[in-house]
């Protein structure tokens, strides 16, 4: 039988996980901004990107995409934990 403190524990754990997620999302946003500014600067000079920079940009873009997908999954998991079965319809 679940204790009466179970919802409060879930909510506290969810709050901690949301704070961690916020920190990661902030770091991801900073990286994304840096990459976009670097690409924009390279393109506005008219010189484009050399092969090394273009390869790095592709890897960075893929990393950013992968991290974004992972963070979305973590957010969904946190929501399910905090709100229990009320969020089972979230896809």
Domain ranges of the chain: 6-83
d(CA 3, CA 9): 10
Neighbour count for residue 82 (Cβ, 10 Å) = 18
Q: What is the pLDDT of residues 20-67, one digit of tens each?
A: 888 988 988 988 888 888 888 888 888 777 888 888 888 888 988 999
pLDDT at 69 over 90: yes
- Give this prediction's pTM: 0.63
Two structure tokens written together for 18: 């949301």
Predicted confidence at residue 43, as pLDDT, reads: 81
Give the pLDDT band (50/70/90) at residue 17. confident
What's the average model confidence in pLDDT over 3-20?
78
**Other Cβ atoms closer than 10 A to 68:** 14
pLDDT value of residue 90: 53
Mean pLDDT over 2-8 rounds to 72
Helix (H, G, I), strand (E, B) or coil at 6: helix
Please give the Cα distance from 60 to 74 (Å, whole number): 21
Distance CA 66, CA 69 (A): 5
Please tell me the distance from the alpha carbon of residue 41 to that of residue 35, in angstroms, as a whole number.
10
pLDDT value for 66 = 93
């Amino acid at each position: 039988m679940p204790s009466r403190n179970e919802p409060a524990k879930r909510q506290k754990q969810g709050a901690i996980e949301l704070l961690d997620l916020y920190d990661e999302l902030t770091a991801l946003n900073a990286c994304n901004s840096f990459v976009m500014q670097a690409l924009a600067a390279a393109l506005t000079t008219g010189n484009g990107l050399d092969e090394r920079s273009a390869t790095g940009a592709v890897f960075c873009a893929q990393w950013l995409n992968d991290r974004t997908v992972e963070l979305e999954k973590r957010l969904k998991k946190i929501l399910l934990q905090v709100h229990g079965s009320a969020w089972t319809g979230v896809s």
